Chains A and B, each alone.
Chain A
């Protein structure tokens, strides 16, 4: 039982990272209909920024702040350099173009920095444990949960109560009518990319704190999981993306904990198969809407 609760918390924690990530992806998707494959590289950028900040002797918080800032900047740059010129292209063209960008960036990291892993210094407190009653939980696990929840809470509040948030919510439903209200399309798009970068930055930090290293392909696995979470939750549903992230995190942790030893290496594969079964039963995703096409 205790074991179960411990795993539950772990699952929540990992799920939180995936949820934040998926949220960032979903924000851009719901506003623009684009799935940005190069989103994962934002995490890698956070990683290398923190690495270089470490080298320069900066304290962790400063390094973290810089990392997030660069993620936001990079996200905006992606919009300008890639998505704006390709505005109006099909979903798959955009997906593949962002895939190409992702590969290009990985190449750049490999060449300009190093193909090998670089270590990231994290505060020692992250490796400590906290004991609540009979349960022993990693400090990092709790910190991850708390940070993620606070971030999502702030975002939710922003979307709910601010003017920009209202405009973005409207734009995600119907961009043209929103423009008829006088809302500038460009501003909304930039805001979406900025928020997306911010979320990738936060999630990236949390991810890197676990792995404590960065390689040119660091962003790759998390982004695939974010993709899966978004599809699982239902393309176009923002709460769905969050739920999808949590489900996948839970799946991963519980498979890891409870799978027979021989099958443990296959946990990722099994998680994906589980997701596929879910999608077979409900092709539009958990919270997706069956779109009635106008004939």
Chain B
């Protein structure tokens, strides 16, 4: 299976999808007569609209109810620029002079529509992107409403509910096809870019993508603006076909129809968008005929009423219950054509495996050149939750190449400490230094960008991305370091598989590979072997040891399997009730009475270890 992937691969994928669409569409255009050609043009324009929507919704996972706004912006910009001045002055007498006299051509208008929509989205996006995902969805709804109201009431610019007419009918079947094909390319390529990948990672797991350095807000913002520009261009194309429109067009009916197409087809895939558009187009066609009893030509999307809308709604509800990922699921066209998929895979492999290996040495030397003995210093770190002290002034430091084990009973504050260091939780007091640089209080993605990587107790890989995509998503990961990481953790053979399909042990390794690929100075591993059996965890932990030495990074590892901690770590720090009660070598710590008391309870007794030797602790009788 293969998704995302290199730009070249994406290009070929887009080409194939476009070709497929053409094969289906061309007969209608060439031989179908005027009415069918007209319906087909509408379908093609729908494709551009849905694909523009998919670029944001599918990659970010954020359902936008407001994208139709940009369609409207594009349409009105086109109207202002292209309606012949004579007709324009009748409808919109108070239009600013430069618009009133304008009569632009097709392409410039489409581009202008894209630019204006993009600018508008850029402004709105600043507010939007600060919100949590659920609030953002609601905000896009608000956007739709606001703009609808604006269009309805700003008569000088829009002629209110009467609407405008007179956009030149410049859309030919060829232009519609060209438009759809271009959009398919753009969307498919976007998905394969670094930003597209990071966006998809944030969709899978916002928390861990941030913890690996991805600036989630930024990538969402970029996608928002980009897809809005596409939507504006699509709206422009649409207006060139429909000639006349009013604000009622840019409201819920079409929002619903477009979202329906996306969901039905599969919102995470460009192919899905096309398929969804086709299906809804078909349903619309069929049921409109049924509704009106007469063969009807050119069903315009916004005028869906009655039966058609009802049927689509039912389809959506059933789809959501029984196949929420859509008909096509997450797959692109190449996943349906195995030979194509394996050809793409092989050429990708070839280009990656040719990566010069000399780079690996340079990463080692770089780390040795860095100043300072400590990769991480935490001083006086403290945190309370609702008045309850979780961590009270803990110091921690890790040397380059050192493995520090962090242990302690349940509730001792280990995870909180990791969260403070990595910037996931705000600290109440204290200081965190990475390679001597003060990162106290910085957001987690910036801390990560300074050379910190981590894994999580509950595994947080990007489940529906490929193994390779998981590793290459973070910004600090280069093609060399990522490739090396895959190799060192034995994941090269499965790099094109979806992360979900891996065994649990492999998924754990993937999480580590993803972290190591960022060439970190310090790595935090939160129970990396949890859920593994002894054999798997032994292997994993010895791999961690060699990785740490090779990369010259410092490692902090939390685990409850103390047997392994004792064997793996250079030093161990023991927490209890938010404070450090012991720091030292495994031997020192394991014979420390206070530590034993913390784990086993008070009144430590003499413990006989049997034939291998005795560790005795003096009993304290009270």
Residues of chain A touching chain B, judged by Cβ–Cβ distance below 8 Å, are: 82, 85-86, 89, 91-93, 95-97, 99-101, 103-104, 106-108, 110-111, 115, 220, 224, 227-228, 231, 235, 265-266, 268-269, 272-273, 275-277, 279-280, 283-285, 292-293, 295
The 3 A-B residue pairs with the shortest CB-CB distance, nearest first, are A265-B153, A104-B313, A107-B310
Q: Beyond A96-B263, A97-B320, is A272–B142 a contact (Cβ under 8 Å)?
A: yes
The smallest C-beta distance from B144 to any residue of chain A, in angstroms, reads 9
State which of A89, A265, A280, A293 has its C-beta within 8 Å of the C-beta of B324: A89
Nearest-Cβ distance from residue A7 to partner chain B, whole angstroms: 21
Do A269 and B146 contact each other (CB < 8 Å), given the known contacts A100-B256, A107-B309? yes
B145 near A268: Cβ-Cβ < 8 Å: yes
User: B interface, how many residues as a size bin?
Assistant: 35 or more
Q: Is the CB of B310 within 8 A of A284?
A: no
B138: chain A residues at CB < 8 Å are 227-228, 231
Of residues 288 through 323 on chain B, the ones whose CB sits less than 8 Å from some CB of chain A are 305-307, 309-310, 312-314, 316-317, 320-321
**16 A–B contact pairs at CB < 8 A?**
A89-B324, A96-B259, A97-B321, A103-B313, A106-B309, A228-B142, A268-B149, A269-B146, A269-B149, A272-B145, A279-B131, A279-B139, A280-B130, A284-B132, A292-B385, A295-B456
Task: Decide if A99 touches B256 in the complex (CB within 8 Å).
Answer: yes
Binding site for A on B (CB under 8 A): 61-63, 127, 130-132, 134-135, 137-139, 141-142, 145-147, 149-150, 152-154, 207, 252-253, 256, 259-260, 263, 305-307, 309-310, 312-314, 316-317, 320-321, 324, 385, 415, 419, 424-425, 456-458, 526
Task: Closest B residue to A224 by CB, please name it.
Answer: B145
Bound-complex Cα distance A280 to B456 (A): 30
Contacts A92-B61, A231-B139, A269-B146 known; 12 new A-B pairs at CB < 8 A: A85-B321, A92-B137, A96-B263, A97-B321, A104-B310, A108-B310, A110-B305, A227-B141, A268-B145, A276-B127, A295-B458, A295-B526
In contact, A285 and B135 (Cβ under 8 angstroms)? yes
Q: For the complex, give the distance between the alpha carbons of A292 and B420 in Å.
A: 13
Nearest A residue (CB) for B61: A92
Chain A positions within 8 Å of B321 at CB level: 85-86, 97
Instruction: Tell me which of A91, A99, A266 has the highest count of chain B C-beta atoms within 10 A of its own C-beta.
Output: A99
Contacts of B306 in A (CB 8 A): 107, 110-111
A-side interface mostly:
helix
Interchain CB contact under 8 A, A295 and B424? yes
- Partner among A95, A97, A279, A295 whose Cβ is within 8 Å of the Cβ of B207: A295
Closest chain-A Cβ to B337's Cβ sits at a distance in Å of 29
Contact A269 B309 (CB under 8 A): no
B134 A93 Cβ-Cβ under 8 A: no
- The docked-state distance in angstroms from the alpha carbon of A91 to that of B63 is 10
Which residue of chain B lies nearest to A265 when distances are taken between CB atoms in the complex? B153
Closest to B144 in A: A224
Residue numbers in A under 8 Å from B424 (CB-CB):
295
Where chain B touches its partner, the secondary structure class is helix
**Nearest-Cβ distance from residue A31 to partner chain B, whole angstroms:** 16
Docked pose: A82 CA to B316 CA in angstroms: 12
What's the Cα separation between A224 and B130 when bound, in Å? 21
* Residues from chain A with Cβ under 8 Å of B415 in the complex: 295
Quote the shortest CB–CB distance from A270 to chain B (angstroms): 9
Closest to A294 in B: B458
When C-beta atoms are compared, the residue in chain B nearest to A33 turns out to be B134
CA distance A103 to B135 in the complex (A): 22
B142 touches A86 (CB 8 A): no
Chain B positions within 8 Å of A227 at CB level: 138, 141
Contact B307 A111 (CB under 8 A): yes
- Nearest CB in chain A to that of B458: its residue: A295
B135 contacts A283, C-beta separation under 8 Å: yes
Residues of A near B324 (CB, < 8 A) are 89, 93
Judging by beta carbons under 8 Å apart, are B146 and A272 in contact? Answer: yes
Q: Which residues of B contact A86 (CB under 8 A)?
A: 320-321
**Shortest CB distance B229–A (Å):** 21
The chain B residue with its CB closest to the CB of A280 is: B127
Q: Are B260 and A266 in contact (CB under 8 A)?
A: no
Q: A96-B63, A96-B263, A111-B307 are in contact. Are A265 and B152 (CB under 8 A)?
A: yes
Given A85-B321, A110-B305, A283-B131, A273-B310 contact (CB < 8 Å): no
How far is the CB of A240 from the nearest CB of chain B, in Å? 13
CA of A99 to CA of B419, assembled, Å: 38
Is the beta-carbon distance between A266 and B314 smaller than 8 angstroms? no
Smallest distance from the beta carbon of A78 to chain B beta carbons, Å? Answer: 12
Name B322's closest neighbour in chain A (CB-CB): A85
A89 to B263, CA, bound (A): 14
User: A224 to chain B: closest CB distance in Å?
Assistant: 6
Name the distance in Å between A91's Cβ and chain B's nearest Cβ. Answer: 6
CB neighbours of A284 from chain B (8 A): 132, 135
Q: B317–A101 contact, CB under 8 A?
A: yes
- Nearest CB of A to B104, in Å: 28
Whether A101 pairs with B135 at a CB distance below 8 angstroms is: no
Residues of A contacting B313 in the complex (Cβ-Cβ under 8 angstroms): 100-101, 103-104, 107
Provide the residues of chain B in CB contact with A268, threshold 8 Å. Answer: 145-146, 149
Smallest Cβ-Cβ distance to B253: which chain A residue: A103
Check A96–B316 contact: CB distance below 8 A.
yes
Assembled-state Cα–Cα distance A276/B457 (Å): 36
The minimal Cβ–Cβ distance linking A56 to chain B, given in whole angstroms, is: 26
Is the beta-carbon distance between B320 and A89 smaller than 8 angstroms? yes
Residues of B within 8 A of A108 (CB): 310
- The residue in B61, B134, B415 that gathers the most chain A C-beta atoms within 10 A of its C-beta is B134
**Roughly how many angstroms separate A82 CA and B263 CA in the complex, as a whole number?**
17
- Closest chain B residue to A108 by CB distance? B310
Give the nearest-CB partner of A263 in chain B.
Answer: B153
Residues B135 and A235 in contact, CB atoms below 8 Å apart: yes
CB distance from A217 to the nearest CB of B (A): 9
Shortest CB distance A93–B (Å): 6
List the A side residues contacting B62 at CB < 8 Å: 92
**Which residues of A have CB within 8 Å of B419?**
295
Assembly CA distance A279 to B457 (angstroms): 33
B320 touches A111 (CB 8 A): no
Q: Which of A106, A111, A276, A292 contacts B139 (CB 8 A)?
A: A276
Q: Give A101 to B313 CA distance when docked, in angstroms.
A: 6
Residues of B within 8 A of A106 (CB): 309
Contacts of A99 in B (CB 8 A): 256, 259
Q: Is the CB of B134 within 8 A of A91?
A: yes
Are B132 and A276 touching (Cβ within 8 A)? no
Q: Which residues of the other chain, B, contact A293 by a CB distance below 8 angstroms?
A: 207
Q: A107 CA to B150 CA in the complex, in Å?
A: 26
Q: Which of A107, A227, A268 has the most CB of B within 10 A?
A: A107
